[in-house]
Chains A and B, each alone.
Chain A
Amino acid sequence: MIGTPGIREFRTEPALELPPRAAESYWRESWRRLQGSRIAMFCGGVILGIAVVAICAPLISQYVTHYSYSAQDLDNLFQPPRSPHILGTDELGRDTLTRLVYGAQVSLTVGFLTVLLSLLVGGSIGLIAGYYGGWLDSLLMRLVDVLLSIPAIFLFILLSVLLRPNAITLSFIIALVGWGNVGRLVRAEALSLKARDFVTATRSIGAGDLRLIGRHMLPNALPVMIVAASLAVGQIILIEAALSYLGLGIQPPTPSWGNMLSNAQQYFYHSAWLVILPGVCIFVTVLCTSIFGNAVRDSFDPRLR
């Protein structure tokens, strides 16, 4: 007893009790894990910066460079980087920096819009195929096999050569050809979700098919879709650049990093920076989206826990 003489008092610490921690939601925990990777956060910041620059392209054109992306200045062709053209001019005297900034707009728009569309298409088809199974599943997956067997660029050639796409149309074209991978992934996830108890429970209280798919299976399939999307953005930017380079994507005078390269390639004997700069932009953007996408996959993939 405390205070009783002769009895050594052992001050015992109370048993170590941590304060009760509220269970974290999947989203918050994944976001916290993502923040742990400094490289990923840096790349995310770079992408955000490029996005801000792209959104502000008209402002930059008006207040920073004072040139529009299509204003030709035939007295000042092939100027090297120096004032007043901060990055020089191209083969028609247009300001390179303004065109690069507008090109960022095109690339990021196509990248994100395409991913969104292919998530919509691939996700719906994958969920439907996985949920209903049977002949519908076989048919849809054969269709995916067919789409994935045809090298995409040939389909793009067929689709683009008459359509002369702009950024939005191009996104639809690429999404239409490329939803196959997402479809397969979502179908696999739907198959595994279908076997889970909550689906049986929901159906047993009378939920219809649409409600089950839309309100119950879709939110649970989101992590897989996010993972597929995060890795795809970089590749789609590369595809858009390649298509624009071939003349099958964004048409001049609208600048895209790809068509800037194809315009400049015949001049790289004397104006090499016109060929180097757009390529560096593509490389940096795709690199950062790839690194960030990999980190998103590592943080958000429920199978990697």
Chain B
Amino acid sequence: MLATYAVRRVLVSIPVVIGVTTVTFLVMKVTAGTYVPGLDLDPNLRPEDVVRIRHQLGVDQPLYVQYWQWVTGIAHGDFGRSMLDGTPVFAHIWSRLPATLELTLTAILLGVVISIPLGVAGARQWGSRLDHMLTGISVAGFAVPQFWLGLMLILLFSVSLKRWGLPWLPSGGQESTIGGGDPLDLLAHLVMPATVLSFFYLSVWSRFVRSSTLEVLSQDYVRTARAKGMPERRVLYVHALRNSIVPLVTLIGLELPGLVAGALVVEVVFGWPGLGLMAYERAKAYDFTMVMGTTTFVALLVILGNLVADLLYAVLDPRIRYSS
């Protein structure tokens, strides 16, 4: 039953959620301890002010008390307060989340839309020159550093095209500050970051689709369909395809942490105002509670994404619901 599978899957996630909050808390306490940025440097602060501020932030409590406050806070949606300006972390996260979602989901979409035809083409003409070329490009795409690809694209599309007087793409941000905001402008800003983020996964996923399609094409039901005289196109796109791309759902779920991590780097390169850029800037400013809250939130998003991917897989492939 789908419902029992779903319930079981959610129950298994709960310890992982608790574990995530614990690990993030531990990592922060081990590295940052009770360090509060700026507290030691301000000459105007009297010792009693320092004590008061530290008490307000809660960093003078014993570790288990802090941990308990942290975990119960998360359960209420309170991810702490920024060490720099005292504003709630969740408000910042919520305001930056749409940008990161836009970037990540577009990258996933791009990756899926491009890797499926490439993988299927490689499988159909298995062993041909096209197949070898596609495999070669995939292996190369696996090795390109994302941030360097971003810089190279900026060099080509923003700097060189502008220099040559051709229409050019903006090199950063989500929309133009002057006269921007229309869909075309948003698209022009989105194109390069999304392409860079999806590039790595294109290569991985197209190889996966290729091997998955090859496996499906050797199954008996494909042979039956061909024996019935079904045109090859129909065999491929109606019968084989829907079986070969279903495992891709699970693969995307597994790659979610890497996608979000890659989104951080891409956001920094392109100045894309998302969660990753916020976490990075706040980390450099030693605002640890903000980084801790963002890390936990992002991890929870990843767990949710994995859950959705597994449930989607169970919907698409009924065998899963009955096996475990």
Contacts and interface: CB of A to CB of B under 8 A. Distances in A.
A151 B297 CA distance: 11
A117 B189 CA distance: 41
Max chain A C-beta neighbours (<10 A), residue from B286, B292, B295, B302? B295
A105 B308 CA distance: 43
A150 B139 contact: no
Interface residues of A, number: 44
Contact of A151 (B28, B152, B264): B264
Contacts of A147: 23
Interface stretch (B209-217, B235-243, B277-285): B277-285
Interface stretch (A16-24, A44-52, A284-292): A284-292
B16 interface: yes
A32 B139 CA distance: 24
A145 interface: yes
B147 interface: yes
B84 interface: no
A283 B152 CA distance: 13
Contacts of B32: 158, 162
Interface string B137-151: 001101111111001
Interface string B44-62: 0000000000000000000
Interface string A139-164: 00011011111111111011101110
A151 B100 CA distance: 14
Interface stretch (A66-74, A191-199, A237-245): A237-245
Contact of A290 (B139, B268, B276): B139
Nearest to A177: B27
Contacts of B303: 149
A154 B147 contact: no
A272 interface: yes
A151 B27 contact: no
Contact of B151 (A142, A154, A265): A265
A78 B15 CA distance: 54
B288 A158 contact: yes
Interface stretch (B74-82, B255-263, B312-320): B255-263
Interface in B1-52: 15-16, 19-20, 22-24, 27-28, 31-32, 35
B225 to A, nearest CB: 30
Interface of B: 15-16, 19-20, 22-24, 27-28, 31-32, 35, 139-140, 142-148, 151-152, 155, 159, 257-258, 260-261, 264-265, 268, 276, 279-280, 283-284, 286, 288, 291-292, 294-295, 298-299, 302-303, 306
9 contacts: A149-B16, A151-B257, A151-B295, A151-B299, A155-B24, A161-B31, A272-B155, A283-B140, A287-B139
Given A290-B139, A294-B139, 20 more contacts: A146-B20, A147-B23, A149-B257, A149-B299, A149-B302, A149-B303, A150-B302, A151-B258, A151-B260, A151-B295, A153-B265, A158-B31, A162-B31, A162-B286, A238-B146, A245-B265, A246-B280, A261-B148, A265-B151, A279-B145
